[in-house]
Every structure is written in C-alpha cells, then in structure tokens.
Structure 1
C-alpha cells in the first residue's frame, strides 16, 4: 500500500508539471502572436547638431608678409694676397682668424731687401739718364751756335762773290778771282748744311735723352710701388678670415694670405617664385623698396635684423627658377656671412580683407557661415594671399558673419550647428527681446531645464552661466527652451 501511494503521488506531481509547462507555452505563443500583430513603432528621428569653432569675419587693412629663405653675405670682401714673391718677415698680432682690424693697419711685411736694391739701381739709372739729358742739351746749344756761325760765314762768302762779279763786269777784276769767290761761297753753303745736320742730331739726342729719362722714372716708380706693396695693410675696417700666412714663410706672387670681411656691410640674398616677384613690382615694373625682417633661429634664441630690398638679379641662373633678390641690412648684430636665415617681406597694405584659418576654405573657394536658425550657408570668397596657416580673402556678404574655422566632410549647407566663438569674441547679446520670443515656465519645467544644464559636463562654464541666468528670469527666450528640450529629447 505504501508503494502504491508513493507511485500515485509521483504521477500526480508529474501531471501538474506537464500541465504547467503546457500553460506556459500557450502564454508565450499568445504573447508572440500579439506582438507580431502590432504595427511597427518607428522612433522619432532627431536632428544631429554639430559643434563647430567659428571666427567672426572682420574686414581690415592688412599688410601681407611674404616669407622666403636666404643666406647672409657681405657687400665688401677682399682677398689679402701677396703682390710679389718673398719671405714674410713681419706679421701683425691681429693677423689671425676672427681678428678685427681697422683701415690702414699694417697686417704683414715681406722682406724688402731685394726690392730696395732694385730701387737703388733704378735711382742710379735715373741719375745717368738725367746726366745724359743735360749733356744732350749742351750739345744742342753748341750745334745751334755752330749753325749760326756757318750761316754768317756763308752770307759773307756770298757777298764777296757778288762783289767780284761786279768788278769783273766793270773790267776791273779777273775771272780767276770770281771763280775763287764762287768756290768759297759754295764751300760756305756746304758748311751750313753740315751744321744743320749736326743740329738735327743734337735735337734727336735730346729726344732720346728725354725718352730714357722718362723710362728711368717709370722704372723707378714701379720699383718704389713694388717696395710699398711688400707692406700689406687693411683697406677698410673688417674681420680677418681664412688666415694662412706664417712669419718666416715663403709666399709666391698672388698667393692668398687671408680674407677681409666687412661685417658692417651685410646683405641677404634670397629667392622668390615668379608670381611672388610680380607682387613686389610697382606700376612701372620696377622693384619696390620694401622693408624686410631677417630672422636666425638658433635653439630658440632668435637673432633679427631689418633692412630694405635693394636690387634683383640680372638673369636667371641655369637650372634655377624664380628671381634672386638682395636686401641691405641695418645693424645686423650677431649675424655672420653664410648664415641661413628666414626673410619676411612686408608687402603694401591691402584694404577690406578678412583673415581666416586656411582650413576654412575648400578647393572650390567657398567658406561656410552660420546663417539663420544656426544653419550653415556657403559663401564664395576670393583668395588674396596665403599667410602661413591663415589666408586673406574677400567676399560679398562675408563682413560680420561667423565663419566655420575648420571644414570637415560632415559639414555642408543646411547643417545645423552649435557655434563656439573664440574667447572674448562672442556676439553681443541684444539688450531687448521681443515679447513674442519670451515664454513663462512652470516651476517643474524650469527646475528640470536647470538640472539638465548643470549636469552637462561638455558645456563651457561661461556658456552654462549665461544660459542659467536666462532660465532664472521670469520670462525665458523660447528659442533657448526649444534648443535645450530638443537636445534632451522632448
């Protein structure tokens, strides 16, 4: 009996379990059928609002700055060379690399003994030439006197011949005396010719003496100049570089001993592209005298100098492009020839241009501005200059608008945004708002809105304080309430 009772109890519990499982299955089936029979519920789509950084567009008068790279050079460099071969017998204490020298300072001397001996010989030759000149002048004076005497004797002989001829015609003289007087007159004329020849020779001797004297003087001047060239002096104030001479060493003619650089006459040579060069020309096609600023950045320490553009290259070097320009520097302290520097050229000012980040404009020349209801609108602009990471543009309807600083593929016309202005450039709030834009809030609704604003961790503190101040007013702008409820989902 006990076994039968336990068996029946087990069967009863099993039947209850199966009945419960069957009932549960029926409930699940009914629930699924009811769910599937209902119409699909589509959630209300919410418009996505992007937060963008904006900059106010303000037309200004801006002087664009063109950047280029160049090298410092000196306008005056002189190679110190030996004018003649010889031995260096004296060197200045300042004859070393980096030493500053003044104009007229003696830098080095070559051995003057051979040059002095040659100059002494030239002096002796000059004395001989002067003596020959004096002797030739005396000989010329004697030749002139001899010619005068011969001419007088010839005149006397001619007069005697005429007298004998008259006597013969009157029958007093003889033919022999006439013939003898004629021969004497002819001999006197021959003597005059000989004296003239001697005078010409004396004059030629004087000319030759003058030539020899001039040649001796030139030789003496050349040797004196050679002797002076053995003393090497600095022609201008500067700094020595590439010093190679040593005292007692032999140098050859035209051998370079040092390089003298004028550190106060520096200029910068830099290259710009042809379009950039065109911007630096005036209406007549001449290069403008524009100011430049040269900067040498050395481990965070910047050496700067100012100057003005002075000239440009006459031709384009083979294999190069653009234009080579030169600018003279004023007070270029710390800069040395050979320094590679950055050159900033200040162009003539431009009127009514707007400075924007370069990321604000796309390839089509458009920028996005915040329009009505904080939706983006495209505006065409004209690119005037590129200034590093900024651009200078002009455009109709751009003045006073808020321009998106950084364009992304997600931004476009009609997109609603939340503009974020730079610090201190927020738009000025209007002093009065139309009554139609103000609404009154219930206490629960006001508290809920305030709680949402205070709980938003991404909202800037200055914006949060401004919105809380509006919510605490008796009448709140409807646009502010609609924006907050829009973002919280109703």
Structure 2
C-alpha cells in the first residue's frame, strides 16, 4: 500500500508539473504574438537646427589689390672700367664695397709715365707739323712772287716781239731779229708755266702740311685723353660694390674693377599673369600707371615704399608666361638693389560689390542665403576677385542679405539654421515666394503629409500652411521632392 501511495503521489506531481509547463508556454506564446502584433511606437522627432556664422552682402565700392613678387634694381648702375692699363698709384678711401662717393670724386690714379711720354712726343711732332706748315706758306709766297716776275718778263718779251715785227713791216728790221724776239717771248712764256707749276706745288705742300697738322692735333687730343684716363672719377652720387682693386696692383685696359650703384633711384620688376595684366589696361588698351606699394619683411619689421607702374616688357621671354612690369619707386628708404619684395597694385575700383570670406562661396559661385523662418536658400553671385582669405563678389539683387560665412557639407537649401549674430547686427531675411495652389495639387500635398511618418506637431504646422490661400514655394518644393523620392 505504501508503494502504491507513493507511486500515485509521483504521478500526480508529474501531471501538475506538465500542466504548469504547458500553462507557462501558453503565456510566453501569447506574449510573443501580442508583441509581434503590436503597433510600433512613434517618438516625436525634432528638426535639427545648425548654428552658422554669417556675413552681410553690403554693397560698397572696393579697390581690389593685386599681389605679386618682384626684385628691386637700380635705374642707374655703372660698371667702372679702366680705359688704360698700368700700375695703380693711388686709390680713394671710398673705393671699398659699400663705399659712398659723390659725383666727381677721384677713385683711383694709374701710373701716367708712359702716357705722359707719349703726350710729349706728340707735342714735339705737333711743333714739327706747325713748322712745316709755316715753311710751306713762305714757299708759296715766294712762288707767287716768282710767278709775278715771270709774267712781267713775258710781257716785256711780247713787247720786244711786237716792235721787231713792226720794224720788219716797215722794212727797217730784219727777219733774224724777229725770230730772235719770238724765241725770247716763247722762253718767257715757258718760264711763266714753270712758275705756275711751282705755285701749285707750294699750294699742295700747304695742304699736306695742314693735313699733317690736323693729324698731329688729333694725336695730341688722344694722348691728352690717355693721360686723363689714368684717373677715374665718380660719374654720379652712389655706392660702390664688387670692388676688386687695391693700391699697388696692376690693371689692364677695359678691366672692370668696381660697380657704381645709385641706391636712391630704384625700380621693381615683377611678373603678373595675363588675366591680371588685362585688368591693368585702360579702354585704349594702354597700361595704366597704377600706384604700387612695395614691402619687405625684415625680422617682423616691414620696410615699405610707394611708386607707380611705368612700363612693361616688349616681349615675353622663352619659357615664361604673363607679363613683366616695371614700377618706379618714389620712396625707398632702407631698400637695396636685389631685394626680393612683395608688390601690391591698386586696381581700378569696383562698385556695388561686397567683400566676404572665401569659405562662403562654392565652386559654382553660389552662396547660402538665410531666408524665411531662418532656412537656407541658394543664391547665385559672380566672383570678381580673390583677396587673400576673402573674395569680392557682385551683390546684384541680394543687397543687404545675410549669407553663411563658412559652408560645410551639412548645409544646404531648406536647412534650418541658427545664425550667430554679432552684437548690434540684424539679419535681413529673404522673403519666400508664395504660390496659389489648385485643388488637386493641394489635395495631393495634404494626403502626403497626412499619411507620412512625421511628428504630429510638424504635420499640424505643415497642414496649417497648406490650408492657407497662398503657400510658400519652398514648402511646396520640399514636399513635392519627397513625394518624387
């Protein structure tokens, strides 16, 4: 009996356990089915608002500044050369690198012994030429006197011939006497011809002596110049560089021993692109004499000078592009030839433009305008100039509007933003374009919003806008773009 009772108790407990397991399984299955059939919970979604910096499109007149790099050089640079060779006897104390000289200062003197001896010889030859000319002139005078006497003698002979012929005609004279008179007259004429040749020879001697004297005077001038060339003087005020000579050294003819530079008359040469060059032309195509500013950064201390553009290169060198321009400096304190400087050129002024950060404009020259309800709107502008980290754009119809100063991939049309406004400034928002919808179009938009998965407050706000007579074009475009997607 005890065994049977214990067996029945075990069977009863097993049955109760199975019933409890079945009941628990039924509860779990019911919970899973209920969970699967339950509608998904919807949490209210809040629109994301981004904070942005903004810039104002205030129309103004701006003078663009073109930046280039150039090299300074002196407009007056002279290579000092020795016109004659020899030993250097005397050198000026200023004949050193960086030495300052004044126009007319003696720089060096070369041994003039050879040049002086040559000058003395030329002077002696000049005296011989002058003596020869005087002798030729005296000989010419004597030749003319002899010619005069010969002509007088010939006239007498002609008279004697005439008398002899007259006597012979009257029967008093003889034929032999007439012939003798004729021979004497012919001899006198020959003497006149000889004296004329002597006068011509004397005149030729004078011409030769005059030519010789002129040559000797030329030689004298050259010899005197050779003597003067033994001394070299400064041609203008300036400073010396590349000095390679000292006292006691030997210099050869045409040897360069220094360079004289005028540091007060400087100009800068710089290269600009062809497009930049085109902006510096006037309506006639001539280069304008635009003002320039030259700066040199020296350990944080900027040396500055001003000037204006004066000319351009006649041709473009092989392998180069753009244009090479030259500007003369009016003030150049502290500058020296060879300095590599920054050149800033003032271009013609631009009107009705604005200066904004370069991060505010996209590659397609569009900006993000802050429009209705602080939402972004795309606007098209024209990029005119780049000025460092800023750009100059045309304002057009967006005068006084606010744009996003720093664009990012998160920003686009329709995005709501929170502008970070500097103190004392207000944003001029762009009023949206309003549309009057036909009933079918309005019904489609209302159905799309009603069936859409939007927060209830957003649905209510959009439906309230769609029930108005006129609806914002931005709202309509945004909803229709989502309907198409």
TM (norm. structure 1) is 0.81
Q: 1:365-385, CA deviations, whole angstroms, 9 ceiling, x for partnerless residues?
A: 211110111111111111111
Q: Which residue of 2 aligns with 1:439?
A: none
Q: CA deviation at 1:44?
A: 2.4
- Other structure's SS at 1:212 match: helix
Q: CA deviation at 1:172?
A: 1.0
RMSD: 2.4
Structure 2: 5+ residue runs without aligned partners? 1-12, 430-485
Q: CA deviation at 1:425?
A: 3.6
Partners of 1:25 and 1:138 in 2: how far apart? 163
Q: 1:176-220, CA deviations, whole angstroms, 9 ceiling, x for partnerless residues?
A: 111111011000000000100000010011001101111000001
Q: Which residue of 2 aligns with 1:349?
A: 349
Bigger mean CA offset, 117-126 vs 41-50: 41-50
Distance 1:16 1:337, change over 3 A: farther
- 1:105-124 maps to which residues of 2 (within 5 A)? 105-124=105-124
- Other structure's SS at 2:295 match: strand
Q: Which residue of 1 aligns with 2:459?
A: none
Partners of 1:76 and 1:46 in 2: how far apart? 75
Q: Which residue of 1 aligns with 2:128?
A: 128
Distance 1:247 1:424, change over 3 A: farther
Partners of 2:148 and 2:424 in 1: how far apart? 115
- Other structure's SS at 2:53 match: strand
Structure 2 contact 71–268 (Cα < 8 Å) conserved: yes
Q: Which residue of 1 aligns with 2:250?
A: 250
Structure 1 contact 97–242 (Cα < 8 Å) conserved: yes
Q: Which residue of 1 aligns with 2:234?
A: 234
Partners of 1:351 and 1:407 in 2: how far apart? 26
Q: Which residue of 1 aligns with 2:164?
A: 164
Structure 1 contact 55–422 (Cα < 8 Å) conserved: no
Q: CA deviation at 1:34?
A: 3.7
Structure 1 contact 54–422 (Cα < 8 Å) conserved: no
Q: Which residue of 2 aligns with 1:184?
A: 184
Partners of 2:347 and 2:214 in 1: how far apart? 62
Partners of 2:382 and 2:248 in 1: how far apart? 72
Structure 1 contact 379–395 (Cα < 8 Å) conserved: no
Q: Which residue of 2 aligns with 1:376?
A: 376
Distance 1:30 1:231, change over 3 A: same
Partners of 2:238 and 2:38 in 1: how far apart? 99
Partners of 1:331 and 1:203 in 2: how far apart? 67
Q: 1:349-377, CA deviations, whole angstroms, 9 ceiling, x for partnerless residues?
A: 11111111112111222111101111111
- 1:94-113 maps to which residues of 2 (within 5 A)? 94-113=94-113
Distance 1:386 1:117, change over 3 A: same
Structure 1: 5+ residue runs without aligned partners? 1-12, 430-490
Distance 1:422 1:342, change over 3 A: farther
- Other structure's SS at 1:397 match: helix
Q: CA deviation at 1:408?
A: 1.5
Structure 1 contact 383–392 (Cα < 8 Å) conserved: yes
Structure 2 contact 59–395 (Cα < 8 Å) conserved: no
Q: CA deviation at 1:426?
A: 4.0
Matching of residue 140 in structure 1 with residue 140 in structure 2: yes
Partners of 1:96 and 1:16 in 2: how far apart? 123
Q: CA deviation at 1:35?
A: 3.2
Structure 2 contact 96–240 (Cα < 8 Å) conserved: yes
Partners of 1:388 and 1:14 in 2: how far apart? 90
Q: CA deviation at 1:41?
A: 1.0
Q: Which residue of 2 aligns with 1:402?
A: 402
Distance 1:334 1:424, change over 3 A: farther
Q: CA deviation at 1:27?
A: 6.3
- Other structure's SS at 1:245 match: coil
Q: Which residue of 2 aligns with 1:452?
A: none
- Other structure's SS at 2:108 match: strand
Structure 2 contact 401–427 (Cα < 8 Å) conserved: no
Structure 2 contact 88–250 (Cα < 8 Å) conserved: yes
Distance 1:200 1:52, change over 3 A: same
- Other structure's SS at 2:326 match: strand
Q: Which residue of 2 aligns with 1:35?
A: 35
Q: Which residue of 2 aligns with 1:58?
A: 58
Q: Which residue of 1 aligns with 2:305?
A: 305
- Other structure's SS at 2:399 match: coil
Q: CA deviation at 1:313?
A: 0.4
Partners of 1:17 and 1:291 in 2: how far apart? 105
- Other structure's SS at 2:71 match: strand
Partners of 2:23 and 2:101 in 1: how far apart? 116
TM (norm. structure 2) is 0.82
Q: CA deviation at 1:259?
A: 0.6
Partners of 1:31 and 1:54 in 2: how far apart? 55
Q: Which residue of 2 aligns with 1:71?
A: 71
- Other structure's SS at 1:336 match: coil
Partners of 2:338 and 2:322 in 1: how far apart? 21
